[in-house]
Amino acid sequence: MTAEIISVGTELLLGNILNTNAQYLSQELAALGITVQRQSTVGDNHDRLADWVREAKDRCDLLVFTGGLGPTADDLTKETVADCYGDTLVFDPEEWDKITAYFAASGRQTTPNNRKQAMVPVHGHKIENRHGTAPGAWFEQEGRCAVLMPGVPGEMKAMWTEQVRPMLLARQNCALHSLTLRVLGGESNLEYKLRPLLENQNPTAAIYCKTGECEIRITARAATDAEGAEKCRAYAKKFYDLLGDAVYDEDVPGLEHTVVRTLKERGLTISAAESCTGGLIAQRLTNVPGASEVFGYGFVTYWAEAKAKLVGVDPAVIHRFNVVSAPVAAQMALGAAKASGADIALSVTGLAGPGGGELLRPVGTVYLGAAREGKVWVKKLFVSRPDRGLIRARAAQGALELALRLAQGKTPEGALLLGEGPGALEALDKAFLTE
């Protein structure tokens, strides 16, 4: 089955809006085994749209429209597509009642324009909109289909998942199951390494790289959801076999969610002393609902004096080893644990630039610390692209990675443990500088 996605809206052609609908629908259609041959964006112009629909109708089995279902004169997708599919529209009192009720609820009056939205196909059928006033529509002629959904992403996605996708699945009589793996790292070589697994038909697997991590989305078509789930699980195993515990979780939006959940499960708390990330770690942790169970204190110690005052870093240590150094990262983490009483404490000190780089410590040099039970591990990170936002994001991600491993009771990869007794800080500093 082949499809084209047609986004209708002059505001898209003017670039006033970023078209995220097309990407979403492309992913969804691919998962359904429907090949998207084209995405197009056209304006709110009856004749141009009509030409367009006639061309497209002959090219593929399914046209997926978003936008142009509103009440204004500009909104003419429904009328135009109805013509092209030999259908007509009729006033639907039930929809009209919904629209008037919807307006009343928000203390507004309907205008005559709104009646337009209550017009529904005669031969095709309407698609209920549970999240807005504009119903969608389904047209069909000689096995060629068109589905019309609102342009507002929230309404479109809801209509798609609640009604259009189930309808398409029913037509193909199959079920769809998805599973998302979250993977630490995410350099392009990962994509290269996984390529063979990403060229499968069913389940399909797609990789989306984010800062310091990747998302692998596995989707299986099957007769039942249970069977689809089995297929996904079996295919996921191939990734686990290749990637081991770099796969840190499934179906979560990001690493901070796994860190918070793991801490909760083990009854642990966490804190952070942040210099170059400036609160990014605390912000990510507290973005997780219920974070207050595990996170109580965060320290943004941007100045040297703040490092001394808030988390007890020894100014002599800063003076001796430089503020961007392993010993300072170690003292920041130990100090944050002490000042907050948290079980695990993270620290970050580094150069996010653009200024402040030097030969020994170029911009992008970051030291990460992670303390637990009086022990502290330090890891060095270097981000070669001189991009302040990227350096900060990678640093926060790296620190959360350390937190996850400590919470899991594992030894963090690539990190060094601060030794005991006099000379330990020197040894740690040397270990990194002579790397």
Nearest CB to its own copies, comparing residues 125 and 312: 312
Interface mask (CB under 8 A) for its own copies, residues 48-87, using x and -?
x---x--x--------------------------------
Between CA 285 and CA 224 the distance in angstroms is: 37
- CB of residue 388 to its own copies, shortest distance in Å: 6
Which C-beta is closer to its own copies: that of 94 or that of 358? 358
Of 104-112, 305-313, 343-351, 371-379, the window that binds its own copies (rule: CB under 8 A) is 305-313
Q: Is 39 in the site for its own copies (CB under 8 A)?
A: yes
Does residue number 295 form part of the binding site for its own copies (CB under 8 A)?
yes
Binding to its own copies (CB under 8 A): which residues in 6-35?
Answer: 12-20, 22-30
- In angstroms, what is the minimal distance from the CB of 259 to its own copies? 14
Contact by Cβ (8 Å): 148, 77: yes
Q: 145, 152, 218, 280: which one contacts its own copies (CB under 8 A)?
A: 280
Six-digit token pair at 233? 């699980």
User: Any idea what DSSP says for residue 106?
Assistant: T
The token pair at 140 is 């069909």
Asked if 38 is part of the footprint of its own copies (rule: CB under 8 A), the reply reads yes
Nearer to its own copies, 19 or 110 (CB): 19
| Calpha distance 237→244 (Å, rounded) | 10
Nearer to its own copies, 367 or 432 (CB): 367
Q: Which phi and psi angles does 234 have, rounded to 5°?
A: -65, -40
Sole binder of its own copies in the list 33, 153, 185, 279 (CB under 8 A): 279
Select from 305, 358, 413, 426 the one that contacts its own copies (CB under 8 A): 305
Span 128-167, contacts to its own copies by CB under 8 A: none
Q: 10 and 74 in contact (C-beta within 8 Å)? A: yes
* 43 CB-contact burial (10 Å; exposed 0-12 / middle 13-18 / buried 19+): middle
Give every CB contact of residue 361 below 8 A, 6+ residues apart in sequence.
322, 324, 351
Q: Which of 88, 303, 315, 423 is close enough to bind its own copies by CB under 8 A?
A: 303
Nearest to 376 by CA among 327, 413, 340, 422: 327
Calpha distance 301→332 (Å, rounded) = 9
Task: State yes or no: residue 90 binds its own copies (CB under 8 A).
Answer: no
Please say which residue, 17 or 242, places its beta carbon nearer to its own copies. Answer: 17
Choose, by CB under 8 A, the member of 60, 216, 260, 310 that binds its own copies: 310
Residue 281 touching its own copies (CB under 8 A): yes
Binding its own copies (rule: CB under 8 A), the pick from 278, 312, 362, 386 is: 278
Cβ(277)–Cβ(213) below 8 Å: no
CB 410, CB 370: distance < 8 Å:
no
From 138, 248, 297, 432, residue interacting with its own copies (rule: CB under 8 A): 297
195 binds its own copies (CB under 8 A): no
- Range 345-404, binding its own copies (CB under 8 A): 353-355, 388-389, 392
Give me the least distance between CB of 112 and its own copies, in Å please. 20
Map residues 235-274 to x or -, x wherever contact with its own copies holds by CB under 8 A: ---------------------------------------x
How far apart, in whole angstroms, are the C-alpha atoms of residue 233 and residue 303?
A: 49
CB of 429 to its own copies, least distance (A): 23
The H or E element spanning position 192 is: helix 188-198
Residue 136's alpha-carbon distances to 101, 149, 401, in angstroms, are 18, 5, 44
Task: Please state, in angstroms and rounded to a whole number, the distance separating the CA atoms of residues 406 and 426.
Answer: 24
CA distances from 156 to 132, 172, 289 (A): 10, 22, 26
Q: How far is the CB of 298 from its own copies (least distance, A)?
A: 3
Q: How far apart are CA 379 and CA 371, in angstroms?
A: 12
| Sole window of 77-85, 166-174, 180-188, 200-208 interacting with its own copies (rule: CB under 8 A) | 200-208
Instruction: Check binding of 291 to its own copies (CB under 8 A).
Output: yes
Q: What is the CA radius of gyration of the chain?
A: 28
Residue with token string 């969804």: 28
Cis-peptide, bond into residue 354, ω within 30° of zero: yes
* Cα of 388 vs its chain's centroid, Å: 21
Asked if 43 touches its own copies (CB under 8 A), the answer is: yes
Residues in contact with its own copies by the rule CB under 8 A: 12-20, 22-30, 36-43, 48, 52, 55, 206-208, 274, 276-283, 285-287, 289-292, 295-303, 305-306, 309-310, 340, 353-355, 388-389, 392
